[in-house]
């Protein structure tokens, strides 16, 4: 039975289709890729936002935009299922463009409502950094929405940066000259040389969730987290711990001097509407 038949032969095959779909073997990937291409055009993608909080007060100071795919049959599909596929084709360029544009539209909407403009960080793919076009993309965005320059942050994974550190440095320096902040995502999981880290001149290090998980019971995780916090401080960078799920992790990170936190303990990612009513209106007072 071909995938196409399975998908179109009625209700009984739905489960089969979904299982094959999620497994990501070759024909399904092709199918997924072409569906994703249409999804971008048809606005089937949707942004969720996860709050970032100050460790000391637990107060929300920023948001991270996270993309989801509102698939007509499968429901909400998470990025781990489709980012890699997008990255292996040129689709990631379209996807990142869609995300940036959607973030700008959302922030303008909040601004028009008179809500405070929190800092919003946007994930940009590794594949995008090493190609030209990212700088142009941001330039045209800022031409259209100049007030976003000082509340946008770009998140690049450590691995993405190390794929072409010189290019990443040039890109980040240009963006920073326009007021956009830069954050090194999933830090600690790659192998950034300190020399590069210094040259990169990023604003923020985000400690990879894998270290936060074990922080309360695993000495080596704890040591890595401490070392990253110390490193950030010595380079005058901010540090965010991601994936904080318990009060114990919060207290421990705070005692290590980590100023900013993100994780399910504070909030899961939510759709824009919920972020607006749970967090933005209350901030407005
Ligand atoms: P990431 O940038 O490291 O984002 C953090 C991921 O961890 C998010 O998953 C978030 O929902 C999840 N998370 C946050 N707090 C917790 C926690 O306390 N516990 C646990 N277990 N998980 C937590 P999500 O949204 O599924 O995104 C996965 C990855 O997909 C992201 O990892 C990022 O690399 C990529 N991604 C997401 N949105 C975009 C996008 O718009 N563009 C690009 N290029 N990549 C994106
Ligand atoms: Ca991120
Ligand atoms: Ca991360
Ligand atoms: Ca990650």
pTM of the model: 0.91
Query: From ligand 4's centre to the CA of 208, what distance in Å?
Result: 7
Scan for tokens 């601004």, then name that residue. 111
Grade residue 129 by pLDDT with cuts at 50, 70 and 90. confident
Query: From ligand 2's centre to the CA of 251, what distance in Å?
Result: 22
- Tens digit of each residue's pLDDT (9 = 90 or more) over 247-275: 999 999 999 999 999 999 999 999 999 99
**Residue to substitute in 53, 65, 81, 83 for testing ligand 1 pocket (most ligand atoms within 8 angstroms of CB):** 83
176 closest CA partner among 201, 157, 156: 201
What's residue 128's pLDDT?
83
- Tens digit of each residue's pLDDT (9 = 90 or more) over 85-125: 999 888 999 999 999 999 999 999 999 999 999 999 999 99
Query: From ligand 4's centre to the CA of 6, what distance in Å?
Result: 33
**Residue to substitute in 79, 133, 241 for testing ligand 1 pocket (most ligand atoms within 8 angstroms of CB):** 79
> How many Cα atoms within 13 Å fall on the side-chain side of residue 87?
15
Closest ligand 1 atom to Cα of 79: 30
Closest ligand 1 atom to Cα of 99: 41
Distance CA 34, CA 37 (A): 5
What's residue 23's pLDDT?
52
Instruction: Indicate the SS3 state at residue 45.
Output: strand
Residues with CB under 6 A from ligand 1: 50, 65-67, 78-80, 83, 96, 99, 123-125, 185-186, 242-245, 263-264, 269
Distance CA 159, CA 270 (A): 27
What's residue 189's pLDDT?
84
Query: From ligand 4's centre to the CA of 185, what distance in Å?
Result: 7
Report residue 172 as tokens.
């980040």
Closest ligand 1 atom to Cα of 78: 26
φ/ψ (deg, to 5) at 124: -120, 135
């Amino acid at each position: 039975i071909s995938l196409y038949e399975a998908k179109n032969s009625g209700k009984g095959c739905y489960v089969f289709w979904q299982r094959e779909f999620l497994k990501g073997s070759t024909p399904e990937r092709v199918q997924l890729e072409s569906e994703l291409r249409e999804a971008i055009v048809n606005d089937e993608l949707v942004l969720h936002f996860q709050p970032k909080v100050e460790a000391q007060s637990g107060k929300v100071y920023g948001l991270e935009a996270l993309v989801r795919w509102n698939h007509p049959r499968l429901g909400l599909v998470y990025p781990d299922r489709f980012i890699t596929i997008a990255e292996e084709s040129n689709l990631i360029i379209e996807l990142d463009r869609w995300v940036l544009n959607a973030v700008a539209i959302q922030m303008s909407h909040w601004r028009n409502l008179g809500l405070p403009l929190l800092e919003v960080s946007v994930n940009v793919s590794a594949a995008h950094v090493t190609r030209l076009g990212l700088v142009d993309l941001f330039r045209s965005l800022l031409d259209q929405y100049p007030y976003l320059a000082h509340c946008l942050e770009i998140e690049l994974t450590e691995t993405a940066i190390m794929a072409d550190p010189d290019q990443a440095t040039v890109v980040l320096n240009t963006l920073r000259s326009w007021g956009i902040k830069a954050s090194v995502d999933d830090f600690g999981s790659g192998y950034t040389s300190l020399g590069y880290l210094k040259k990169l001149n990023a604003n923020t290090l985000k400690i990879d969730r894998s270290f936060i998980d074990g922080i309360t019971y695993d000495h080596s995780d704890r040591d890595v987290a401490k070392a990253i916090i110390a490193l950030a401080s010595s380079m005058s960078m901010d540090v965010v711990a991601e994936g904080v799920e318990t009060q114990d992790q919060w207290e421990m990170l705070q005692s290590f001097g980590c100023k900013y936190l993100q994780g399910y303990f504070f909030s899961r990612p939510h759709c824009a509407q919920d972020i607006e009513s749970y967090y933005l209106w209350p901030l407005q007072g």
